[in-house]
Amino acid sequence: MTSWALVAIGGFFGAMSRFYVGNVAKKRFATDFPIGTICVNLFGSFLLGYLFTAPFEKEIYTLFGVGFLGAFTTFSTMSVEAIQLLFAKKFSLSFVYLALTYILGVLLAFLGYFIGNN
């Protein structure tokens, strides 16, 4: 199977999974905090760190790392949600959202990298 097809298949399932997680989070948690986006981004950071170092075939990394996780995680949605919180004058919530996303995202990517390397 070509790399293009692997990315397309993984991307389809990653985008559908993100859409599902976002909708479930909105229904379960009545909050202004974008819990769905932060969950997919943090989980995706961990998995990509793991996939980057674990001994998988190139095709597995292309399907899951580039395709699935590329569509599952979302920097653009996170950015827009942070701006929406700022416009709603929820400055503290916006700061916490960005800080958690970046700090925990890097830490979880490192943890995944560490686990995949051992």
pLDDT reading at 33 higher than 80: yes
- pLDDT band for position 2 (50/70/90)? very high
Mean pLDDT of 46-73: 93
Q: What DSSP string runs through 19-74?
A: HHHHHHHHHH--SSS-HHHHHHHHHHHHHHHHHHHS---HHHIIIIIIIIHHHHS-
Residue 80 pLDDT: 96
- pLDDT band for position 75 (50/70/90)? very high
Average predicted confidence (pLDDT) for the chain: 94
Residue 32 pLDDT: 85
Q: At what angle do helices 35-53 and 75-87 cross, to 10 degrees?
A: 150
